[in-house]
Structure 1
């Protein structure tokens, strides 16, 4: 790296550090002048900041924090650039023939990571973007990054997903208005999060995975019950081709050997299922239980914490409301209790 490049980076970072003071240090008439300086600087360096190097996106992340709501004027340039970078990372991973055991050589992982860090700051500042249909392609790639070989990308994607679920809970809008609340996406997310537990994670990352799992499965279960979709055949026929493909992909990830065949069996023999539990959730819990025995102790704790949190929602009773009948208690009990029994054994 040349001396000129180092000096320009130092200048850019220094400008970010003091731009907040520039915006707030002058009386109101002069603040229009100071904002003009900041905006001119941004317009000049925006293209360079969104290049392949992570430093530019670090700078823009800082600018989001410093400028606050005034950064909104630049979203029209930044968000399409983020989308393109994330999609490039997905495409490069799909086409690479390199040995992925060395995650440092995975194409565009660093560019994608810092783009997601910046996106997280943007979403934290502009909550309305969680409902923006223009971001659907970005949410699709974030879902794919949950299974990315690089730990950093998996973790930051999981954190952004947690922010998304918090926005759903806090929003006055119906959950149906949020793109990721579609049943096929919720199931795919749950499967991807379950796969994350195959490798060790920190306590903080494990907690976020567990909370995201509880949200996705509990809302998926509520969707099935609220819409009376316990009959798999009628539910499947109500889906468009994109949602069907997403379920097929998720079942294949959950069980590469028998997943798709099991799904087709559920669709064709829907009369054979217990009407008190949806087979998609039942199969997910069954597969998670089997994966538990391949996990280390920390991952097992996450699974059992998930079971503890999800049980009241699946069993239809809470502290203030006892079970109404035996079917309420029996629902999903076998899948949840078997792993605990086997571990104790």
Structure 2
């Protein structure tokens, strides 16, 4: 009996040690993160393009707050693929290594000389990715392309004074038929004449914490279908004449056959989404709360068990009607479409 008990204790000990060591990702024997680094005045600027590519510019002061020198440090970027266009420390180009993880990427920065204890550098990263935007498709009248920006920041090291800026594609506007096109509410917003710009600020983000940004926007389908090549004025003149002729014919058609037009206006294709009563209750509750709320409030206010609420939310998330994420210690639920 004693031998069996000792064997059981040894087995449990081995499992615990194996689990703890397997949770630390290593590259060439060097663990990812945990380098006694603090990043201050971090500025992340995402410039979204119409073809779904995104430029990410990351700038930050990087401090070695440990007692030993660092030969490298890591920056986590929560996308599934990326390319490093350039990287520098104090204006001097440095080498980088991309370390892919299951659902994010780690960019390892390799200074030319080791970062001594107490020293700081100014980091500049120029990244490109295709994974920051999600194209939903055309709206009901086929005039606008619907898209979502969903971006998470989950740092490996402490971040102080974080600013995230999202620059929408040219001519993009926020969706008007959804309850919460922006989440969370931005600290400020402006326009540069062509693009809408939204800015968020956070004082501190610790390792293990996360912040999520959601922007629901739309772009005129005519812009999405046009080619990026410039079109001269002489090339546009024949199209203008053609549109005038078509417009004149359309006016005559409307005047002469109003009943047919009326029939066409009343014919709409409706694709219903089948929802249970409890799913409708949850979506209605989220809409009344401005589009998002803690998951805890859903089962408390709607008198549901935690397991039932979790099951229903999983079903809604699979159909892309909601999105769940962590904000501090809370599980937040955000509605993606108004029903």
Give the alignment's TM-score, normalised by structure 1: 0.25
Higher RCO (C-alpha 8 Å, min separation 6): 2
| Between structures 1 and 2, the one with greater strand share | 2
| Between structures 1 and 2, the one with greater helix share | 1
Give the alignment's TM-score, normalised by structure 2: 0.25
Larger Cα-atom Rg: 2
